[in-house]
Amino acid sequence: MICLLYRAAGPSGGKDEGVRAVTVKPGVANSLSLAEDQPEPAPEEGAVLVEALAVGICGTDHEIIAGDYGEAPPGADRLVIGHESLGRVLEDPSGTLQPGDLVAGIVRHPDPVPCTNCAVGEWDMCRNGQYTEHGIKALPGFARDRWRIEPEFAVQLDPVLAQVGVLLEPTSVVAKAWDHIERIGHRAEWRPQTVLVTGAGPIGLLAALLGTQRGLTVHVLDRATDGPKPELVAGLGATYHAVPVNDLPFEPDVVIECTGAPTVVLDVMCKAAPTGIVCLAGVSSGGRSIDFDAGALNRALVLENNVVFGSVNANRRHWTMAAQALARADQVWLSSLITRRVPVNRYADAYTAGPDDIKVVLEFAS
């Protein structure tokens, strides 16, 4: 089926068909539209030409569509969105990739200065904010029929991931979170047992998957009492909780907070076990203030040697870890994270959130 898809594109890569692209005008609410007959991606965008198979949709896309986030490339007034990609290589003159290879594009590119971290390929830790991101900040995204990328920003996926490889980008984000948790953990003897993940959306569920792959006891907490979340958590061999954090009968060694909800963020900081590590991976919208005792929190963190840190994005090393984690995961479980697959001509449906959505995917080739 997939090989047929590739052949259908033909030696011209389907280049005579016109490129469709999902775009927005950054800063303008509800400017989402599907542009037809767009030009082919410019050669300057990269040597590797890719036929899009799918893009995943996340909260960042919704923020961009609401006009709250996002930046068009220099000189343009519209941004092609889509940063969670899956495609098939049509051509790579550099010979790094072969036609037909399954790939995803790395989202972030280093700042041009570059800062000390970007200079060594750790663009996920950019220090000056001048990084760019496909589909988010000053670089065109992947929600178009064909896109280009430089080989060093293309990540090859195992062919087994043809149906679910679009989950690679969110998995790279949690692979980084786990990588940094482990680096911090090794400041002392590191034998974690219990993990709490708050939020059972795609990021939370993928964070839980990587926890179970490490042989840890994983608990996932979310507000939902029905819908697909409890079963998805059970499918990992993890335990689902729909209670307040304070009612949990254990103190986790590791917390990965994926809701960004202010009270949950504070509660997990207080709930972590002595020497526990709390990774904040949920982006809050801000603007809501709550009363809390900062002194008591400081006292608890200091006296128990706890660490709280933020984590966003991922560098190439994390994308590779993520590709390996997905390839060894249960493919049926991964497929069940994708609760809706919408063809690109019905793009507006894809970007309208549904009550039981986990991951919604916009499909290009069919």
Tell me which residue has tokens 């986030």. Answer: 69
Indicate whether 107 belongs to the interface with ligand BGC (CB under 6 A). yes
Alpha-carbon distances, residue 339 vs 57, 93, 298, 357, 361 (angstroms)? 12, 37, 41, 6, 8
Long-range own/partner contacts, residues 218-221 (CB < 8 A, 24 or more apart):
219/194, 219/195, 219/248, 219/250, 219/252, 220/196, 221/196, 221/197, 221/245, 221/248
Exactly one of 115, 155, 173, 245 binds ligand BGC (CB under 6 A); which one? 173
- Nearer to ligand BGC (CB atom), residue 163 or residue 311: 311
- Nearer to ligand BGC (CB atom), residue 58 or residue 138: 58
Residues 310-329: x where in contact with ligand BGC by CB under 6 A, - otherwise, as a string: --xx----------------
Smallest distance, ligand BGC to C-beta of residue 61, A: 8
Q: Which of 262, 260, 266, 267 is nearest to 282 (CA)?
A: 260
Alpha-carbon distances, residue 133 vs 59, 81, 110, 170, 279 (angstroms)? 15, 10, 9, 14, 22
H helix runs in the chain, sequence order: 2-9, 59-65, 168-185, 202-213, 229-235, 262-271, 294-303, 316-328, 331-337, 347-350
Smallest distance, ligand BGC to C-beta of residue 133, A: 5
- Nearer to ligand BGC (CB atom), residue 126 or residue 232: 126
Instruction: List binders of ligand BGC among 178-237 (CB under 6 A).
Output: none
Smallest distance, ligand BGC to C-beta of residue 151, A: 20
Instruction: List binders of ligand BGC among 55-84 (CB under 6 A).
Output: 58, 60, 83
> Six-digit token pair at 283?
């982006």
- Nearer to ligand BGC (CB atom), residue 157 or residue 168: 168
Residue 237 region by backbone torsions, left for phi larger than 0, else alpha for psi between -120 and 50, else beta: left
Smallest distance, ligand BGC to C-beta of residue 69, A: 7
Smallest distance, ligand BGC to C-beta of residue 136, A: 5
Distance CA 55, CA 57 (A): 7
CB-CB contact of 357 with 339 (8 Å): yes
Residue nearest to ligand BGC (CB): 60
- Nearer to ligand BGC (CB atom), residue 58 or residue 279: 58
Instruction: List binders of ligand BGC among 125-144 (CB under 6 A).
Output: 133, 136
User: Would strands 146-149 and 102-105 be described as parallel, antiparallel, or unpaired?
Assistant: unpaired
Smallest distance, ligand BGC to C-beta of residue 170, A: 7
Indicate whether 161 belongs to the interface with ligand BGC (CB under 6 A). no
Interface with ligand BGC (CB under 6 A), residue total: 11
- Nearer to ligand BGC (CB atom), residue 216 or residue 350: 350
- Nearer to ligand BGC (CB atom), residue 283 or residue 297: 283
Indicate whether 85 belongs to the interface with ligand BGC (CB under 6 A). no
Alpha carbon of residue 241 to chain centroid? 24
Alpha-carbon distances, residue 353 vs 102, 111, 186, 340 (angstroms)? 28, 33, 40, 10
- Nearer to ligand BGC (CB atom), residue 168 or residue 344: 168
Instruction: List binders of ligand BGC among 262-321 (CB under 6 A).
Output: 312-313
The answer for residues whose C-beta is within 8 angstroms of residue 150's C-beta and 6 or more apart is 46, 47, 48
Instruction: List binders of ligand BGC among 328-357 (CB under 6 A).
Output: none
Sites of contact with ligand BGC (CB under 6 A): 58, 60, 83, 107-108, 133, 136, 169, 173, 312-313
